[in-house]
Every structure is written in structure tokens, then in C-alpha cells.
């Protein structure tokens, strides 16, 4: 006989983004609970709305399996007296196990015979165990926790009811002053409380009181209704998955409706309209078949069709008020010149401890100029870059960005074009914020990419110099994202930029323009280098590179991001070659010896000091090796060097007592090691 179990936690409205992860957490906890309680079950189904998190479990075992346990007692010689009767120890042992000496049998353990009994533990019934679900409910963890009433207990929102059933029976427990029962709540307005006769009535019974508890089903209903509207009007309704997920978790009974706004607002940039609709009102926006924005929106009511016109009119009014504001800003913003906005940036702080936005723009101006020198730009690109760097934050002080902060850069681009800036300058203003999220879009233009790198690099060094380093989950200025952004841009553009030289570029600019910079200490540079390399490691991890290979290739901050990424790729490719192990070991021996020796750079090798032919052979092989070409070529050269290296070590004692010989040999190895420094530190690779 198996059972159906239902556990529903009824809450005041949970934040939309918390609903799905929370019900998954609940499912996980219930599963772990059953596992710990040795209760088998078939299927576990999850249900969630803004007001409830629920799991239904099918085919739950009636009871735990019985256990037969062997319990060891005293040694036989202690348990049994000479006459064969049981000693006090034996009787005491069996009594302790709630048995009698009749149950005793003997078993040998490491050469000694011991007393044993077989103890039978009857499995507890599910009904007896399930009240402990209380601990499952109480253990839930949420991103924000709150107290309510007179309790110290913390939860995502106040718990208002708990429905807990095992088939027809209520699973009794009490949390705070809430006693479990068979009652659940219907829709806040359309429904009412109902009693469930059995766990299996869930979730169908809730549909009678206007609650679609199955989130997937609810989402499907929304999608269907949207598709219907789209078909009816020949609209392209843009359904972004994140917004759909959020909207789905704001309603228990969805009814999709469409509203409109006046044509005149279409003169406002699309991005502003979309932000108003999507981000502020959680509306889906509507386009025609050619992709042009239409003066309509689609939204979802938490309710039915009744008086839907009220709802539509209300939503239209709110949107219109927002668009009226936006139209006002759009007009007003065009009354000032870019120069006037830039002048205002003298009074806008980038950060209290760092300085103004105007100062930041100046730093980024110098830095982007220096970067352009490393990369090489045409005269036009140079000009566009200087202009962009001189104005690129101006939109921060426009009314529109004041109201719609998320449109920074986007409005900059629009306004720059309206004021006659070149498209390249305008694009760079927008692109310098990219990427705005992990894996997000990167700048497409060179000018935008350089400005993006300069802006991010400046922020990282600014905050490090001010001792505001990210730690743990605390990264308020998104410096990690910015470092990752620099790396991804360099990789995408295949630019030969490396951490150390980049930071040196900043340090040099700081020396030339001391008034613009805080003091950058060598420690800051080291911390920033480590911080950035750590992001490089994360980048390689996302490419599924093995940890030892990541350790190897990231050991050298002078290597460019592209070199590091390619080196990892090549080592991964050859990892399973038959001679990989020997190749890496040969290189490793060379590296370890030179590292210990710590010679000055570029010592000449004197062939007249060679004592055996392998030295000459190695010297010739090294001299013949080319450092140009691809990293794959380089790996092949390393592979070819393996035989001469092995022969060399067979015949040559590098650490000769004769200092002159020793120095010469180390100089030779150092030359050799220099050949494959593009691979970082090959000794980090695990070839055991």
C-alpha cells in the first residue's frame, strides 16, 4: 500500500523572482527528508504561485523498511561461565537490548568469539514520521528574510496557513501558531477557502477557486492567450522568457489583455518605450510584422474577464503618465548642448573616495589614447576615440537617464547623434558599458571596445587604489564583471593585451597626470593583477579547461589573454597524446632547474665550455627553434626538443661543482625555458 502526500505552505505574496527557486528548494528538502527517514516514494510534483509553495508526493511508502541489526556484546569467555551458564555481563547485555540470553549466538571477530544478538527494528509508519516535516518547512532559506507579528522566526513573507495531508489524513504539526489542516485558500478575490478531502485532490480542487497552482500550466495558459491576441491582431508580441517567468509568478489566475497608448509617443526612442513597458510596468511590448514598435502593450491580470475594461483603462493611464514624463525629458534634454552636460560632470561624483565623473573621463581619455597606441587605429578612429572619451558620460546628467538609469549609454548614443556627433562616437558611448552581464553582448566597434576597456580598467585601478576591493559576494561596483569584460573584449578582438602591461599603462598615465590619480601603490598593482588573472581563470573554467592546465597557463601575467586562452586550448588538445607526459616532464625538468638558479636574464651560452655531444645537440636544437609562428608550432617544437633534453640530462650534470660549467649549463636551460614561456608554467600540469 502506498500513499499520496501533500504539503502546501501558504504565504503572503512572495517576491516573483523567489517563487520558482523556493519551490525547488522545498522539493529538494522534502526529498532529503524522505531519504534520511528511509521512506521510499515514487514521484514528487511541485506547485507554486505567489501565495503558495507546495509539493505532492506520489507512491509514498506506508512505512520505513524493517531493519535487522547485529549487535555485538561481550566476549564469549566473559559471557559464559565455566558451567555454561550466562554471566551477569551477558544477561545485562541482552537486557540492554530488550532481549534474553536465549537470543544469543556466537561469532568470531579477529580470533575471539563474541556474543551477538540480532535486533529487529520495526520500520515506523509514514504517518508517524511525517509530522517532522515541520523541520523541513522551518529550515527553508530565502534571499531576504523577515520577521512579523511578535515572532522572532524569519521567513520570506509571513506564513498564513499550512496544508498537510497524507491521503485523507491531516499530518499534524504546528509552526508558530499555525496548525496544519486540510484547508487551503483560493484566489484572493475570486475564490475562497476550501477543504481538501484528500491529498490527491490537489491541485485540481484549487482550480474551482481560481488558482492554477501548476506554474508550468499557468505559463502555458498565458502563452496561449498571448498567441491568440497576436493572431487576432497580426501582432508580434515580444515574450521575453524572464518577463514571462516574472509575470507568471505575480498571478494565480491569469487573464491576458491588451491596451494602447497614443501614437504621438512613438516619437520617443524605442528603448525608452520598451523600458517603460517591460521594466516598469511588466508589460509585453508589441511590434508589427516588420519589427516596428506599435502603440500597444499586453499585460496579464491576476483575475478573470470581469470588468476587464477598468483594468485596461487603469493600466493605459499609468503608462501614459510615464510616457508623458519620458516625452518631456526627451524634449528638455535636447535643449542643452553636450558641452553643457559635460561641464555638469564636474559636480557629479564617480565615487566619494575617488573623485568626479569629469576626472574619470580625463583619466579614461589618456588611457584610451595609450591603449590605441598598443593596438593601432586609423586616423579617423583615433579622432573618434578622443572625441568619445571626452564626452562619453554626458548622458548621466540628462533628465531621461535621471529617470531611466538603465538607459545610460543608450540615451547617450541617441542624443550624440541628434547633436551631430559621428556614428562611431555615438556607438562608442553606448558600447563602453558592454558587456553589462556575464556572457552579455560585447562592443562591435574597435573604438567602442577600446573605450570599454579603458573605462573598466580605470574603474578597477581606481577602486583598488582606494582599497575598495571586492570580497566574497560583496562586489558593489561590479569590478569582477568589468575585469571579465576586459578579457572577453580582448579575446573577441584578438588583441595582444596582457595584464601586467595594461596595469603598467595605467601606472605610467598616473605618473604623467598625478593630479588625476590617487596614489597607486605597488601592492595595488599586484592585487589588481591577481584579481584580473582570477577572472581569466574563471573565463577558462567556462571553456571546460582542466584545473591543472588553467594553473599552468595563467602563471604568467605577461602573456596576453589570447595567448593564455590558446595555450590552454593547445594543451587540452594534446593532453591525450602518447608523448604528452614525457614532453611535459622534459620541459618541467628544465623549468625547475632554471627557476631554482634564478639567473639574470639572457646570459650567453659558451659552446667552448661544452663537455659532451648532448650539450652541443641541445644547443643546436634550441638555436634552430623559432619563437615566431603559432602556439601549435611552438608546442610541436617543444615536442621535438624532448629527445635532446632527455639525452642532455642523461649525460650532463647541470649542477656541476665547477661554477663556470654550472653557470653555462643553466644559461643554456634558461634559453630553452624562454622558448615556451607562452605556455605559462608547465610544471603545474599533472602528468602523474
Partner 1 sequence: MEKKLTVQEIILKLQQFWSKQGCMLMQAYDTEKGAGTMSPYTFLRSVGPEPWNAAYVEPSRRPADGRYGENPNRLFQHHQFQVIMKPSPANIQDLYLDSLRALGIDPLEHDIRFVEDNWENPSMGCAGVGWEVWLDGMEITQFTYFQQVGGLEVRPVASEVTYGLERLSSYIQDVNSVFDLEWSAGVRYGDIFSEPEYEHSKYAFETSNQEMLFELFDTYEKEAKKQIALGLIHPAYDYVLKCSHTFNLLDARGAVSVTERAGYLARIRNLAKSIAKAFVAERKKLGFPLIKDDQVRAKLLKEDK
CB 359 within 8 A of CB 516: yes
Site for partner 1 in 312-331 (CB under 8 A): 313-315, 317-319, 321, 324
By CB under 8 A, residue 15 contacts partner 1? yes
191 versus 485: smaller Cβ distance to partner 1? 191
CB of 314 to partner 1, least distance (A): 2
284 versus 561: smaller Cβ distance to partner 1? 284
CB of 354 to partner 1, least distance (A): 10
The residue within the footprint of partner 1, chosen from 352, 598, 601, 650 (CB under 8 A), is: 352
Q: List residues bridging with 179 in a β-sheet.
A: 174
Q: Of the listed pieces 118-126, 342-350, 555-563, 640-648, which binds partner 1 according to CB under 8 A?
A: 342-350
CB 509 within 8 A of CB 367: yes
By CB under 8 A, residue 190 contacts partner 1? yes
b/e 410-421 (16+ beta carbons within 10 angstroms → b): bbbbbbbeebeb
CB 545 within 8 A of CB 568: yes
Chain-centre distance for alpha carbon 353: 29
Task: Give all strands (DSSP E) within 99-177, no chain letters.
Answer: 105-109, 112-121, 159-166, 169-170, 174-175
The residue within the footprint of partner 1, chosen from 146, 339, 523, 655 (CB under 8 A), is: 146
The residue within the footprint of partner 1, chosen from 63, 188, 223, 500 (CB under 8 A), is: 188
Burial class (CB in 10 A: 0-12, 13-18, 19+), 149: exposed
252 versus 458: smaller Cβ distance to partner 1? 252
User: Hey, what's the cell of 171?
Assistant: 499530518
Helix (H) or strand (E) holding 178: strand 178-179
CB of 518 to partner 1, least distance (A): 14
Backbone angles phi, psi at 87, to 5 degrees: -75, 170
By CB under 8 A, residue 278 contacts partner 1? no
Binding mask 452-491 for partner 1 (x = CB under 8 A): ----------------------------------------
CB of 16 to partner 1, least distance (A): 7
Question: Residue 395 and residue 392: Cα distance in Å, rounded?
Answer: 8
Q: Residue 501: CB partners within 8 Å, gap ≥ 6?
A: 374, 558
Q: Of the listed pieces 120-128, 184-192, 627-635, 678-686, which binds partner 1 according to CB under 8 A?
A: 184-192
CA Rg, the chain, in Å?
A: 36
The residue within the footprint of partner 1, chosen from 118, 217, 347, 660 (CB under 8 A), is: 347
152 versus 601: smaller Cβ distance to partner 1? 152
CB of 306 to partner 1, least distance (A): 6
Q: Of the listed pieces 65-73, 107-115, 188-196, 668-676, which binds partner 1 according to CB under 8 A?
A: 188-196
Q: Of the listed pieces 10-18, 75-83, 565-573, 662-670, which binds partner 1 according to CB under 8 A?
A: 10-18
5 versus 14: smaller Cβ distance to partner 1? 14
40 versus 403: smaller Cβ distance to partner 1? 403
By CB under 8 A, residue 13 contacts partner 1? yes
Number of residues that bind partner 1 (CB under 8 A): 43
CB 676 within 8 A of CB 638: yes
3-class secondary structure, 64: coil
CB of 391 to partner 1, least distance (A): 20
Distances in Å between the Cα of 121 and the Cα atoms of 67, 70, 71, 72 are: 5, 11, 12, 16
Burial class (CB in 10 A: 0-12, 13-18, 19+), 616: middle
Question: Residue 274 and residue 293: Cα distance in Å, rounded?
Answer: 9
Which residues contribute to the site for partner 1 (CB under 8 A)? Answer: 12-13, 15-17, 50, 144, 146-152, 157-158, 160, 188-190, 250-251, 281, 299, 301-303, 306-307, 310-311, 313-315, 317-319, 321, 324, 347-349, 352
Amino acid at each position: 500500500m502506498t500513499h499520496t502526500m501533500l504539503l502546501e505552505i501558504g504565504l503572503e505574496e512572495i517576491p516573483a523572482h523567489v517563487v520558482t527557486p523556493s519551490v525547488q528548494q522545498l522539493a529538494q528538502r522534502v526529498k532529503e527528508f524522505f531519504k534520511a527517514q528511509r521512506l521510499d516514494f515514487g514521484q514528487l510534483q511541485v506547485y507554486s504561485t505567489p501565495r503558495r509553495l507546495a509539493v505532492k508526493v506520489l507512491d509514498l511508502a506506508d512505512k520505513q523498511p524493517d531493519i535487522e541489526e547485529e549487535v555485538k556484546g561481550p566476549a564469549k569467555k566473559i559471557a559464559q561461565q565455566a558451567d555454561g551458564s550466562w554471566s551477569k555481563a551477558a544477561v545485562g547485555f541482552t537486557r540492554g537490548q530488550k532481549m534474553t540470553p536465549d537470543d544469543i549466538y556466537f561469532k568470531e571477530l579477529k580470533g575471539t568469539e563474541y556474543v551477538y544478538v540480532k535486533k529487529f527494528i520495526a520500520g515506523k509508519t509514514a504517518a508517524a514520521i511525517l509530522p517532522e516535516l515541520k523541520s523541513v518547512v522551518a529550515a527553508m532559506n530565502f534571499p531576504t528574510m523577515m520577521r512579523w507579528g511578535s515572532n522572532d522566526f524569519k521567513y520570506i513573507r509571513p506564513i498564513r496557513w499550512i496544508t498537510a495531508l497524507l491521503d485523507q489524513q491531516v499530518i499534524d504539526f504546528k509552526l508558530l501558531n499555525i496548525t496544519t489542516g486540510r484547508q487551503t485558500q483560493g484566489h484572493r478575490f475570486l475564490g475562497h477557502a476550501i477543504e481538501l478531502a484528500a491529498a490527491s485532490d490537489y491541485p485540481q480542487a484549487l482550480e474551482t477557486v481560481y488558482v492554477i497552482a501548476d506554474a508550468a500550466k499557468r505559463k502555458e495558459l498565458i502563452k496561449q492567450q498571448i498567441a491568440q491576441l497576436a493572431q487576432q491582431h497580426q501582432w508580434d508580441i515580444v515574450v521575453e522568457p524572464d518577463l514571462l517567468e516574472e509575470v507568471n509568478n505575480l498571478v494565480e489566475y491569469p487573464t491576458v489583455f491588451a491596451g494602447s497608448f497614443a501614437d504621438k509617443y512613438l516619437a520617443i526612442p524605442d528603448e525608452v518605450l520598451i523600458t517603460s513597458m517591460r521594466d516598469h510596468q511588466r508589460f509585453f511590448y508589441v511590434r508589427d510584422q516588420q519589427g516596428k514598435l506599435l502603440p500597444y502593450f499586453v499585460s496579464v491580470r491576476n483575475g478573470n474577464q470581469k470588468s476587464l475594461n477598468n483594468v485596461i483603462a487603469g493600466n493605459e493611464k499609468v503608462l501614459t503618465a510615464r510616457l508623458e514624463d519620458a516625452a518631456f525629458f526627451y524634449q528638455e534634454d535636447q535643449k542643452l548642448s553636450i558641452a553643457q552636460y559635460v561641464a555638469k560632470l564636474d559636480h557629479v561624483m564617480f565615487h566619494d573616495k575617488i573623485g568626479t565623473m569629469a576626472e574619470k573621463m580625463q583619466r579614461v581619455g589618456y588611457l584610451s589614447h595609450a591603449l590605441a597606441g598598443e593596438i593601432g587605429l586609423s586616423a579617423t578612429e583615433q579622432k573618434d576615440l578622443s572625441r568619445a572619451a571626452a564626452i562619453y558620460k554626458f548622458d548621466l546628467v540628462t533628465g531621461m537617464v535621471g529617470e531611466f538609469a538603465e538607459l545610460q549609454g543608450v540615451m547617450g548614443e541617441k542624443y550624440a547623434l541628434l547633436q551631430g556627433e559621428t556614428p562611431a562616437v555615438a556607438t562608442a558611448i553606448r558600447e563602453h558599458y558592454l558587456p553589462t552581464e556575464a556572457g552579455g553582448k560585447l562592443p562591435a566597434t574597435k573604438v567602442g571596445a577600446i573605450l570599454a576597456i579603458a573605462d573598466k580598467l580605470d574603474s578597477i585601478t581606481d577602486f583598488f587604489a582606494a582599497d575598495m576591493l571586492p570580497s566574497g559576494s560583496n562586489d558593489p561596483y561590479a569590478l569582477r564583471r568589468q575585469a571579465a569584460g576586459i578579457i572577453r573584449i580582448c579575446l573577441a578582438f584578438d588583441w595582444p593585451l596582457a595584464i601586467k602591461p595594461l596595469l603598467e599603462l595605467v601606472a605610467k598615465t598616473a605618473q604623467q597626470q598625478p593630479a588625476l590619480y590617487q596614489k597607486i601603490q605597488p601592492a595595488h598593482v599586484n592585487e589588481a593583477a591577481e584579481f584580473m588573472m582570477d577572472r581569466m581563470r574563471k573565463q577558462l573554467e567556462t571553456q571546460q579547461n582542466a584545473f591543472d592546465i588553467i594553473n599552468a597557463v595563467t602563471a604568467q601575467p605577461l602573456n596576453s589573454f589570447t595567448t593564455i586562452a590558446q595555450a590552454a586550448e593547445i594543451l587540452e588538445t594534446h593532453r591525450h597524446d602518447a608523448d604528452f607526459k614525457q614532453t611535459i616532464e622534459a620541459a618541467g625538468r628544465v623549468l625547475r632547474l632554471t627557476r631554482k638558479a634564478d639567473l639574470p636574464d639572457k646570459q650567453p651560452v659558451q659552446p667552448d665550455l661544452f663537455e659532451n655531444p648532448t650539450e652541443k645537440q641541445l644547443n643546436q636544437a634550441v638555436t634552430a627553434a623559432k619563437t615566431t609562428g603559432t602556439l601549435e608550432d611552438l608546442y610541436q617544437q617543444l615536442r621535438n626538443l624532448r629527445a635532446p633534453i632527455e639525452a642532455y640530462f642523461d649525460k650532463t650534470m647541470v649542477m656541476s661543482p665547477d661554477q663556470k660549467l654550472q653557470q653555462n649549463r643553466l644559461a643554456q636551460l634558461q634559453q630553452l625555458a624562454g622558448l615556451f614561456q607562452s605556455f605559462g608554467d608547465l610544471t603545474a600540469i599533472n602528468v602523474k
